[in-house]
Amino acid sequence: MWSFSNIANLVHEVLAEHFNPAITLAIEMVIAGVSVIGLFAILGLVLVIMERKVSAWMQIRLGPNRVGPKGMLQSLADTLKLIVKEGMTPNGADKLLFNLAPFIAMIVAMLLMAPIAFAKDLQMWDLNIGILYVSALSSVTVISILMAGWSSNNKFSLLGAMRSGAQIVSYELSAGLSALAIVVLTGSLQISEIITSQANGWWIFKGHIPAIIAFVTFIIAVTAETNRAPFDLAEAESELTAGFHTEYSGMKFALFFLAEYVNVFIMCSIAATLFFGGWMPLHIGNWHKFNHVMDFIPSSIWFFGKTFFLIFVIMWFRWTFPRLRIDQLLDLEWKYLLPITMFNLLLVTAVAILGWHF
Amino acid sequence: MSGTVYCIVAIFVEIPSFMGASSLIVLIIAAIAFSGIAIMLSKLVLKATTNKQKGEPYECGIPTKGETRMRLNVGYYLFALIFLIFDVELVFLYPWAVVAKKAGWIAFAEIIVFFFILFMGFLYAHRKGALKWM
């Protein structure tokens, strides 16, 4: 079978034959870095065109259809346009922080790639505290947003950044508590172990009602954490122009935009890993023949299929719910989601101890 | 020379195929390179001009008035304070969650006590009006 680990071992052996270990390591690191950058750029382009096509579809219009076949190269054209635009720094801005903020956003989005299992054996770092790592790093995004908002010497930016700070910080709690529900069922924080524990069925089916509640709260919290509509108060375009990146233009804006979309992808892939088994094909208990048929579909297709389905759901939210007000937003988290997720964690613990899950 | 480099790098890495903690270094460098190259590229391509209005803060065309970094609603800080308490509690929950299934009903009793105390604090904050937006 051609699996990723075979290819990686092959490359490693070929390199080790010709070079000494230090250079081999350097070359391997360069290959990994370049492939991650490639994945990053492709994800950005694909997600932007997907967003525009989905919103066009929801509103019964055509969407971009001029550049390339069916408008599929539109986001490439947009990137080219953004490259030739000037990335200016406004007067009175804190120059260091202003220019540092997009870098921080990018580094965080990139670092979040490390523990994600894209396919069988395709994972950069399978650390034993994967879920903790993800929840810890995803909250660092708020620093880049606050940095951008405060440094750009603009009232819209500052307001957007403060809102987004309160929002991300609040919704992180329910996201963490919902993820913990699956950790209780699995008994491990490691991504690979969470996936292998779903070899006889995904947790959303195996975990009864508490798993479904956890999934719903997780998706809501993730939508808020990535500043997507209906929780896009940080960049509410009808009241704050563009929120925290009002003053950003050209490539610096593009980096924020890219990091935002990649964050959506990463959070959806975490949701897919926790509740839908990541790259694990659809297995049902001991229906061995059915499971065997499902195994023929490659694991990467399962992973990307689930993730893109969840991304589609999040885009669907955008055209279904009107934007919340800041007080409603905080009420939703502190008065509804947080108690629900706390109670749900108790429920899940009881289910796990009684062994009621499959 | 290459031996020393190897030793330094090998601290972070276990060599064959999977990258381990060294992936973090690769990712950080990749992110900085990607953003840096993108910004440099756009600087090379364009011709920057300057004029008086260009650097002004954007407020839909009207000249901005007063202090930009103004005072903000105290609500933001209150929520940040409550969050701090809850976030620390959440971190305590992670090791608990890993062993909960093995430890059985003891873990369940513990978490009920834990949540009871936490919930009392939450109710206190609620009654004090900290969760109300002014």
Spatial separation of the C-alpha atoms in residues A128 and A186, rounded to whole Å: 13
Domain residue ranges of chain A, discontinuous segments joined by +? 1-84, 95-354
Residue A296, Cβ neighbours under 10 Å: how many? 7
Flag whether residue A15 sits within 8 Å of chain B, measured between CB atoms.
no
Tokens of A185: 């069922």
SS3 of A269, please? helix
pLDDT of residue B2: 46
Flag whether residue A85 sits within 8 Å of chain B, measured between CB atoms.
yes
Compute φ and ψ for A332, nearest 5 degrees.
-55, -45
- Is the CA virtual torsion A116, A117, A122, A123 positive or negative? positive
Task: List CB contacts (< 8 A) between A165 and chain B.
Answer: 76, 80
- Is the CA virtual torsion A202, A203, A207, A209 positive or negative? negative
Q: What residues form DSSP beta bridges with A119?
A: A122
Mutate to test the interface with A, among B92, B101, B122 (most CBs of A within 10 A): B101
Task: Please provide the size of chain B in residues.
Answer: 134
**Are A298 and A304 contacting, i.e. CB atoms less than 8 angstroms apart?**
no
pLDDT of residue B1: 45
Where residue B8 falls among pLDDT bands split at 50, 70, 90? very low
Spatial separation of the C-alpha atoms in residues A121 and A280, rounded to whole Å: 11
Compute φ and ψ for B13, nearest 5 degrees.
-125, 145
Spatial separation of the C-alpha atoms in residues A222 and A40, rounded to whole Å: 20
Of A179-188, B48-57, B89-98, which range is least confident?
B48-57
Compute φ and ψ for B81, nearest 5 degrees.
-65, -45
User: Which residues 6+ apart lie within 8 Å of A221 measured at CB?
Assistant: A171, A172, A174, A175, A178, A333, A337
Flag whether residue A250 sits within 8 Å of chain B, measured between CB atoms.
yes
pLDDT of residue A311: 92
Spatial separation of the C-alpha atoms in residues A224 and A277, rounded to whole Å: 23
Higher-pLDDT residue of B130, B126: B126
Compute φ and ψ for A122, nearest 5 degrees.
-105, 90
Residue of B nearest to A169 (CA): B83
Asked whether residue B46 carries a pLDDT value surpassing 60, the answer given is yes
**DSSP H/E element including A336:** none
**DSSP H/E element including B55:** none
pLDDT of residue A218: 92
- Is the CA virtual torsion B16, B21, B26, B30 positive or negative? positive
- Is the CA virtual torsion A323, A327, A330, A335 positive or negative? negative
pLDDT of residue A257: 86
Flag whether residue A326 sits within 8 Å of chain B, measured between CB atoms.
yes
DSSP A177-211: HHHHHHHHHHT---HHHHHHTTTTS-HHHHTHHHH
Identity of the residue numbered B5: V
Give how far Cα A17 sits from Cα of A2, A12, A23, Å: 22, 9, 11
Mutate to test the interface with A, among B4, B6, B26, B67 (most CBs of A within 10 A): B26
Does the beta-carbon distance from B57 to A29 stay under 8 Å? Answer: no
Please name which of B69, B102, B21, B104 lies closest in space to residue A187, comparing C-alpha atoms: B102
Q: Considering CB atoms only, which of B19, B33, B75 is closest to A124?
A: B19
Does the beta-carbon distance from B35 to A345 stay under 8 Å? Answer: no
Where residue B11 falls among pLDDT bands split at 50, 70, 90? very low
Spatial separation of the C-alpha atoms in residues A301 and A282, rounded to whole Å: 12
pLDDT of residue B12: 46
Tokens of A82: 């953004």
Task: List CB contacts (< 8 A) between B24 and chain A.
Answer: 111, 114, 125
Does the beta-carbon distance from A352 to B75 stay under 8 Å? Answer: no
Spatial separation of the C-alpha atoms in residues B23 and B9, rounded to whole Å: 12
SS3 of B47, please? coil
Does the beta-carbon distance from B79 to A107 stay under 8 Å? Answer: no
Check residue A324 and report its DSSP letter.
Answer: P
CA torsion, ordered A93, A97, A98, A99, to nearest 10 deg: 130
Tokens of A316: 């669907």
Diameter of chain B by CA atoms?
A: 71
pTM over 0.90: no
Q: Considering CB atoms only, which of A107, A124, A180 is closest to B97?
A: A180
> What is the percentage of chain B residues whose pLDDT exceeds 90?
1
* Residue in the block written with tokens 């600087």: B43
**Are A185 and A208 contacting, i.e. CB atoms less than 8 angstroms apart?**
no
Per-residue pLDDT tens digits for B15-37:
434 567 777 888 888 888 888 88
Residue of A nearest to B115 (CA): A342
Mutate to test the interface with B, among A14, A81, A83, A158 (most CBs of B within 10 A): A83
Spatial separation of the C-alpha atoms in residues A146 and A234, rounded to whole Å: 10
Residue A84: CA count within 13 A, CB half-sphere? 5
Please, which residues 40-59 of chain A have a Cβ atom closer than 8 Å to chain B? 40-41
Does the beta-carbon distance from B30 to A36 stay under 8 Å? Answer: yes
Asked whether residue B10 carries a pLDDT value surpassing 70, the answer given is no
pLDDT of residue A312: 92
pLDDT tens across the length of chain A (358 residues): 456 677 777 877 888 888 777 787 778 788 888 888 888 888 888 898 888 889 999 899 988 888 878 888 888 888 888 888 877 777 777 888 888 888 998 899 888 888 888 877 778 888 888 888 888 888 888 888 888 888 888 888 888 888 888 888 888 888 888 988 888 888 888 888 888 888 888 888 887 788 889 999 999 999 988 888 788 777 766 777 777 888 888 888 888 888 889 999 999 999 999 888 888 888 887 788 888 887 788 888 888 899 999 999 998 988 888 888 888 888 888 888 888 998 898 888 888 888 777 6
SS3 of A304, please? helix
Compute φ and ψ for A84, nearest 5 degrees.
-85, 0
Flag whether residue B130 sits within 8 Å of chain A, measured between CB atoms.
no
Flag whether residue B127 sits within 8 Å of chain A, measured between CB atoms.
no
Closest approach of A106 to chain B, Cα-based (Å): 6
Spatial separation of the C-alpha atoms in residues A266 and A198, rounded to whole Å: 20
How confident is the model over B62-86, as a mean pLDDT? 78
Spatial separation of the C-alpha atoms in residues A106 and A111, rounded to whole Å: 8
Higher-pLDDT residue of B130, B37: B37
pLDDT of residue B108: 87
Domain residue ranges of chain B, discontinuous segments joined by +? 2-45, 74-127
How confident is the model over B94-120, as a mean pLDDT? 87
